[in-house]
Amino acid sequence: MKRIFNLSILFIVLFNTSIYAQVDNPVKWKVSQQKVSDNEVMLIFKATIDEGWHLYSPFNPPGGSVALGIYIEEEDIYKNKLKFSGKIIESPKPKEVYDDVFEKIEIFFEHKATFKQKIKVISETDFTLTITVDGQTCLEDGRCVAFSEDFDFQIKGAPKAEEIEETPPIIEEKTDTLDIDTLDIVNLDTNIVEKEIDTIQRISLERGKTTPIIISENNWANKDEKKSLFWFFFIALGLGLTALLTPCVFPMIPMTVSFFIKGEGEKAKGRMQAIIYGVSIVAIYTLPIAIIIAIANLGGKGAVSADFANFLSTHWLPNVFFFLIFVIFAASFFGMFEITLPNWMLNKSDKQTSKGGLIGIFFMAFTLVLVSFSCTGPIVGGIIAQSTQGGDMLKPIVGMLGFSMGVAIPFTLFAFFPSLLKNLPKSGGWLNSVKVVLGFIELALGLKFLSIADQTYHWGILDREVYIAFWIVIFALLGMYLLGKIKFSHDSDMPYLKVPRLMMAIIVFTFVIYLVPGMFGAPLKALSGYLPPNSTHDFNLAGMIKGDQESTICETPKYEDELHLPHGLRGYYEVYQALNCSKENKKPVFIDFTGHGCVNCRQMEENVWSDPKALKILKEDYVILSLYVDDKKVKVPEKEWFTSSADGKVKKTLGKQNSDIQTVNFNKNSQPYYVLIDHNGVVLAEPTEFNPKVEDFIEFLEEGKKEYARLHPF
């Protein structure tokens, strides 16, 4: 049995890190222009390509990797009176290699490439022309990066202007040679078709074969992520301090500190040894996680598969495993058994402490970590397991840093001020009580992992009222334990109830009473991030009283039988339906990148969306598009599968498609992430992430409305 527990702990420590891909920029551009004649200008684009990367030719055959495109917005074509003249000229000669995956000849450049595009100027006045260059670069191992960059050119007017046709001409697109005049970036693999200029947008309402490009103007997609790990660090620090109050660690404080308390002449040396001891504890907990992350990132410029990170965060297998581990940890804290490391590890480490010097002090710290493992292991495992839900590769390191500092600082502090040892309470039964309390908390928190799997796969076994019922029972039992009504095998006799236990019992029972209305649909906003959404509640009395907040929609949303919006709102769960409805209703689109297992998403919905003013704006002024990035159950029809522009993989489930849409369009993979666009894909306001301030969210929505009204006056 112990071997199973040991393997479980090692599995968590070694594999439970959630790491997302970093944004690469393997192509650097330089642009210039050259006058060809009085009314013709050659635009020149020079690309420097990082070693190992392939930049695909504008004439790369359809159905393979995404070809390079050079585009002018329709508005600029008619406002400035210009047009492309001829096809793209590329140099040097690109490589042509047969690709086994696409079963096509792939045409690409390595190291450097130059592209020239001639434009014919019809305007008599000078103007600024914005050209967009986008496409795809890939490594030989299959990892791809989509890019899109805008370049401004100062164009002088032509002395003899021509008249531009008022009726846009019909343009033919051929499959054998990709003519730049088609200006289409979504349907690169279509047969010979006719397109009118008003359908040639950076956003196409027709479904394509590659990742939908849902933005045409995005000034904020590459902004650095403003994520703070401040609170997670201090929570972990608090858990480290709590770990000191367990029977495995607390008795070690006076025993260990006495080693550093020297005579009057050796105080400085003893204090320096105590500092080294504390630093060693921090290193022992933190460095293994940091090394694992560093090794994992050696594979490709600091990138670890986002699919693997998504697997750890949302797949049923790791989440059910973490749930079972938390149950096992709780049983251990209740006294059913002890989770210990092999004796040979303890003995070997203890022998090394006799060497003295820095090595001896380090192994003293290592021995402490090993000896206290039966109490600290479950807490460490919980911190690492919780870090998988953050989507930040630094989170496991920050968690271990905070926890280890919580353990190490008191040992160092008591070595500096040994007189404080006199004020420490004596060891006793209260230490085991701390373990039992932690056991109840571990049991309650473990349900979150089972809930994530349940929501992601739509099992329906842990709906909101069932989840709340479990919490009511768990914390009611905790309150009874604190009052002495429940006793475990390792507990000491309690002749009378002490005041601290009474105060804790009052707090716990108050929390239980707070939970009870949640059984009938109360929002329980303080816990919104940890409870299943209200949409899973079978009997929602609050919703019946409040009434429906249904939004105005066009056609029946796909997948609404399995996916839901909060507060009775209705919207879409698929890009094309939302964009078509936006065009029909003349309303902007509110894109909600969310997830079943997203704690911050639930907090935003319950605490911010629920504000009457915010809810009214969402209902009346926006078409809501809710894109669940972690859904595993909803299968997309085969005719609607698309190949990712980022990694070249076919996306068959709705969750994978939505995740790819967010990554390709916004270089983001964290949720919640809110974007406001019009039906042409123009971003209306700076996208926002988790922000619990209602006034900021309302200001964000209002800004989007104003920009939409400016762009589309009626």
197 compared with 701, residue with greater pLDDT: 701
The residue to which tokens 């309690």 are assigned:
494
**Per-residue confidence (pLDDT) for residue 102, from 0 to 100:** 63
What pLDDT is stored for residue 178 in this prediction? 34
**Model confidence at 516: pLDDT above 90:** yes
Shared-domain flag, residues 442 and 529? no
Identify whether residues 444 and 472 lie together within a single domain: no
CA 339 to CA 328: how far, in whole Å?
9
How confident is the prediction for the chain on average, in pLDDT? Answer: 76
Are residue 139 and residue 79 in the same domain, yes or no? yes
Whether residue 265 is found in the same domain as residue 320 = yes
One domain for residues 367 and 492 = no
As a whole number of angstroms, the distance between CA 178 and CA 390 comes to 43
Measure the CA angle with vertex 350, ends 347 and 355; round to 5°. Answer: 135
pLDDT at site 297: 56
The answer to whether residue 659 is domain-embedded is yes
- How many CA atoms lie less than 13 Å away from 242 in the CB half-sphere? 22
Q: What is the pLDDT of residues 236-255, one digit of tens each?
A: 888 888 888 877 777 777 77
Give the pLDDT score at 100. Answer: 64
* CB within 8 Å of 56: residues ≥ 6 apart: 64, 65, 66, 67, 68, 106, 107, 108, 109, 135, 136, 137, 138
270 versus 615: the higher-pLDDT residue is: 615
Report which of 582, 692, 573, 684 is spatially closest to residue 634, judged by C-alpha positions: 573
Task: Among 459, 481, 503, identify where a domain stops.
Answer: 459
Predicted confidence at residue 223, as pLDDT, reads 43
Nearest to 111 by CA among 200, 32, 48, 34: 48
Beta strands in 18-143 (DSSP E): 27-37, 40-49, 53-56, 69-72, 82-91, 95-99, 104-109, 112-121, 127-139
* Domains: count for the chain: 4
pLDDT at position 626 is 92
Least confident among 370-384, 513-527, 615-629, 660-674: 370-384
When computed from its CA atoms, the radius of gyration of the chain, rounded to whole angstroms, is 31
Read off the pLDDT of residues 453-498 as tens digits, 9 standing for 90 and up.
887 777 888 888 899 999 999 999 999 999 999 988 888 888 888 8
Share of the chain above pLDDT 70, in %: 73
| 216 part of a folded domain | no
Q: Which of 493, 522, 540 is the last residue of a domain?
A: 540
User: Looking at the domain assignment, is residue 215 inside a domain?
Assistant: no
Q: What pLDDT sits at residue 119?
A: 85
Question: Does residue 651 contact residue 183 with C-beta atoms inside 8 Å?
Answer: no
Q: Are 317 and 252 members of one domain?
A: yes
Query: What's 688's DSSP letter?
Result: B
Closest by Cα among 202, 203, 246, 258 to 335 = 246
Task: Give the C-alpha separation, 354 to 370, whole Å.
Answer: 17
Determine the structural domain holding residue 661 and report its residue range: 548-711
Which residues are CB-contacts of 468 (< 8 A; sequence separation ≥ 6)? 515, 518, 519, 524, 531
Select from 425, 459, 493 the last residue of a domain. Answer: 459
Domain match, 608 and 498 both: no
| Domain contains 305 | yes
Band (143; pLDDT cuts 50, 70, 90): low
- 532, 574: one domain: no
| Residue 561 within a domain | yes
Residue the block writes with tokens 């970093």: 22
167 and 280 share one domain: no
pLDDT tens profile 36-58: 887 888 889 999 998 888 898 88
* Predicted structure pTM score: 0.49
Q: Are strands 127-139 and 69-72 parallel, antiparallel or unpaired?
A: antiparallel
Contact 627, 593 (CB under 8 A): yes
pLDDT digits (tens, 9 = 90+) for 175-190: 333 333 333 333 333 3
Q: Could you tell me which of 54, 9, 7, 61 has the C-alpha nearest to residue 27?
A: 54
Where helices occur in 306-356 by DSSP H, the ranges are 306-314, 316-333, 343-352
Decide: 577 and 557 in contact? Cβ < 8 Å: yes
Tell me the two tokens of residue 398: 């920050």
Question: Are 428 and 453 in the same domain?
Answer: yes
Asked if the structure places residue 221 within a domain, the reply is no
Tokens of 231: 């609170």
How many Å apart are CA 404 and CA 410, to the nearest integer? 11
Q: Is residue 20 part of a domain?
A: no
CA distances to 405, 437, 476, 494, 498 from 501, in Å: 27, 11, 14, 11, 6
Two tokens, residue 48: 């420097």
On whether both 296 and 400 belong to a single domain, the answer is yes
CA distance 396 to 265: 42
- Among 166, 205, 170, 169, which Cα is nearest to 187's? 205
Instruction: Answer whether the bond into residue 672 is a cis peptide, omega within 30°.
Output: yes
pLDDT for 542: 54
Q: Which residues contact 371 (CB under 8 A, 6 or more apart)?
A: 248, 252, 346
Q: Note whether residue 214 is domain-resident.
A: no
Q: Is-contact 430 504, C-beta < 8 A? A: no
Q: What is the share, in percent, of the chain residues with pLDDT greater than 90?
A: 12
**Domain harbouring 115, CATH code:** 2.60.40.1250
What does the pLDDT look like over 564-611, one tens digit per residue? 888 888 899 989 899 989 988 899 999 999 888 777 888 888 889 988
Same domain, 607 and 497: no
CA atoms within 13 A of residue 540's CA, in its CB half-sphere = 19
CA distance 630 to 617: 27
Instruction: List the one residue out of 225, 387, 399, 391 whose CA is nearest residue 309.
Output: 391
